Structure 1
Amino acid sequence: MRFRRDANLDPSQVTDMRGRSMGGPVIAGGGGIGVVALVIFVLYTVLSGGSGDLGSLGSLDGQSVSTGPPSTLDQDCRTGQDANERQDCRIVADVNSIQAYWSRVVQGYKPAQTVFYTGATQTGCGAASSQVGPFYCPVDKRVYIDLGFFDELQSRFGAQGGPFAEAYVLAHEYGHHIQDLLGTIGRARQGSGPEGGSVRTELQADCYAGVWANHAVETGLIEDLTQADINSGIDAAGAVGDDRIQERTQGQIDKESWTHGSSEQRRRWFSKGYETGSARQCDTFTGSI
């Protein structure tokens, strides 16, 4: 996956909070966790496979974010060549491309900020630590990610990794933003288990990620996508399937506790989005999945 060397990046779509610490404790286990924050954790903690620590979310009361080193993204991430050389600039370029595509096909599209953070951060959905993995918060319309997750994607989840695997993660999160804009994200609350609303919502976000991938080169930022790139995205989708995570962490599979779908489902719905290039083909809420 390569970016056009002379493509112009827009780092204003990313808020860089790396190196800034959150003052005050992140309250554990129910003490101070609001209902909204808990629901958001369960429904929108993407790629955690339902294995995240609820104690990583807590009340924002009395907390503050201390100042840290100023961001240099606006200076360091200006062109596609910068994206080819630096991971954080590459993520900026991914965000730019994803939003460029969806702004063309979703009427009244409203951009969503991506927030880089380290360790823990404040969000509209509560105080979150990097343990929850990348997630979209519909309260403040932001995508949150500790870039260290991409190392975990390989070391913890066993994915091959690589630039397009990273792009898939971002595209999945923005899939939730599209659901939010279209008013369908609330359907995640409809039922539980392998056919429940949470799984269907996550699989649709995978499909939306594939739709963007089909059109990624058209956005003018990405030079080309090879089959090897697409394969790495499919591999990443499969690596974070509920069944695979449960088998690795628990030694057994419990379908009734699924929140994101099986490895096969995640690969299949990403592939369907990529092969068709049409969001209309991403109706995971009708029929069997």
Structure 2
Amino acid sequence: MRLDDFDPSDNVRDLGSSSGPGGGFGGGGGGNILLGLLPLLLGRKMGCGTLAILAIGAVLFFSMGGGGGLIAPQSGVQAPAGTGTGGGATGAAACNTPERRFSCQVLASTEQTWERIFAESGQRYPAPTLNFYQGGATSGCGFASSAVGPYYCPADQGVFLDTSFFDELANRFGAAGDFAQAYVIAHEVGHHIQTVTGTSERVRREQSRVGEREGNQLSVRMELQADCYAGVWANRNKQYLEAGDIEEGLRAAEAIGDDTLQRQAQGRVVPDSFTHGSSAQRQKWLRIGLDSGNPAACDTFSQPI
């Protein structure tokens, strides 16, 4: 994907590195996010790689206040002892590695794309902030180690990214390529769209009224819509795509499907526990966005998924 035409976004912060405990949740200090959903899905202790892949977008649900009890943050959490900052750079100065610079250019392209889409209906697009970190980060949604992978926190209206995740995506799960990386970021920006349009809050309220199975289904629809929004962004930036880019994105969508992850981790698939959608569903909705370029086509809540 060629994004050299884009200057890095100014809506970027470097949060630095954390020396707090890593690898999973609930260990170490009392500020860790509680992800009881993950053992439920996979039925076993997981390594950081599995956690990272599974958490693409999933962590959005702790940012929604743990709707339906799917992912429950502790209120008022603090970073574990020893967590540092060491960052402080903002804007282009925070885009100080090739991986970060590309991520900053992806964010800039999402800003231009969604600004135009919002303007079509007479609205202003409030861009999110991209927060780089290493090891762990404290946000308005609590402390999370890099094991959770990229995530979005609406309390900060920010995407949080440790770019080491891209190595995991490529080397452990076979989803290499710059467009696969861009898809990850565009998916998290899709959760930002859901927040500013009120979809996240509506789903959170509905999840609080239904049982676990129904709440999981709502979670799946949220994640698939974010996939579709990522496809809309890619459609509106066709001129920057290169041969093989779409295939890279579809491979990434396949790699993070609930059925694929469950089969790899425990040898069996439990559809009622899905919270993100199957590989086929994630590919389908990414493709719908890619083909249509229309956010209205991403209504996963009123259509069969």
Q: Does residue 1:215 correspond to 2:215, yes or no?
A: no
One-letter code of the match for 2:282? R
Matches within 5 A, 1:75-114: 75=93, 86-106=98-118, 107-114=123-130
**1:48 corresponds to:** 54
SS of structure 2 residue aligned to 1:117: strand
Choose which of 177, 190, 202 in structure 2 pairs with 1:162.
Answer: 177
Q: Report if aligned partners of 1:3, 1:224 keep a CA contact under 8 Å in 2.
A: yes
TM-score, reference length from structure 1: 0.80
CA apart distance, 1:111: 1.1
Using the TM superposition, give the Cα deviation of residue 33 of structure 1 relative to its aligned residue in structure 2, in angstroms.
Answer: 6.0
* Distance change in 2, residues 1:39/1:180 (3 Å): farther
Structure 1 residue 157 displacement after superposition: 2.7
Q: Does 1:200 align with 2:198?
A: no
1:180/1:120 Cα in 2 relative to 1: closer, same or farther (>3 Å)?
Answer: same
5 Å matches for 1:113-192? 113-159=129-175, 161-186=176-201, 187=203, 190=207, 192=212
What TM-score, normalized to structure 2? Answer: 0.76
Question: Are the equivalent residues in 1 in contact too, given 2:151–2:188 (CA < 8 A)?
Answer: yes
Instruction: Please report how far the alpha carbon of residue 87 of structure 1 lies from its aligned counterpart in structure 2 after TM superposition.
Output: 1.8
Q: Is the 8 A contact 1:124 1:139 kept in 2?
A: yes
Listed as ranges, the gaps of 5+ residues in structure 1 are 218-222
Task: Return the match for 1:249 from 249, 261, 265.
Answer: 265
SS in 2 for 1:147: coil
Instruction: Flag the 1:233–1:73 CA change in 2: closer, same or farther, 3 A.
Output: same
* Equivalence for 1:68: 86
What displacement does 1:99 show? 1.3
SS in 1 for 2:134: coil
User: What do residues 188-222 of structure 1 show as CA deviations (whole Å, max 9, x unaligned)?
Assistant: 553554871100000000000000000125xxxxx
Which of 1, 12, 15 aligns to 1:14? It is 12
| Deviation, structure 1 residue 153 | 1.0
1:133 & 1:76 partners in 2: Cα distance? 19
Structure 1 position 65, deviation (Å): 5.2
Which residue matches 1:278?
294
- The equivalent residue for 1:3 is 3
CA distance in 1, matches of 2:31, 2:87: 30
Q: Deviations over 1:83-116 (max 9, x none)?
A: xx92211111001001111112122211110111
Q: Structure 1: how far apart are the matches of 2:155 and 2:253?
A: 26
* Aligned residue type for 1:103: E
Aligned CA RMSD, in angstroms, stands at 3.6
Partner of 2:45: none
Give the conservation status (yes or no) of the 8 Å contact 1:27–1:33: no
Query: Structure 1's 202 and 173: CA in aligned 2 closer, same or farther, altered over 3 A?
Result: same
Question: 1:15 touches 1:116 (CA, 8 Å); kept in 2?
Answer: yes
Are 2:52 and 2:147, in contact at CA under 8 Å, matched by a contact in 1? no
Tell me the CA shift for residue 258 of structure 1: 0.8
Cα pair 1:193 1:199 within 8 Å, conserved? no
The percentage of counterpart residues that share the same residue type is 41
Deviation at 1:275, TM superposition (A): 0.2
- Give the length in aligned residue pairs: 269
Judge conservation of contact 2:18–2:85 (CA < 8 Å) in 1.
yes
Deviation at 1:133, TM superposition (A): 0.9
SS in 2 for 1:245: helix
Task: Give the counterpart letter for 2:193 in structure 1.
Answer: I
Quote how far apart the aligned CAs of 1:63 are.
Answer: 5.6
Match of 1:220 in 2: none
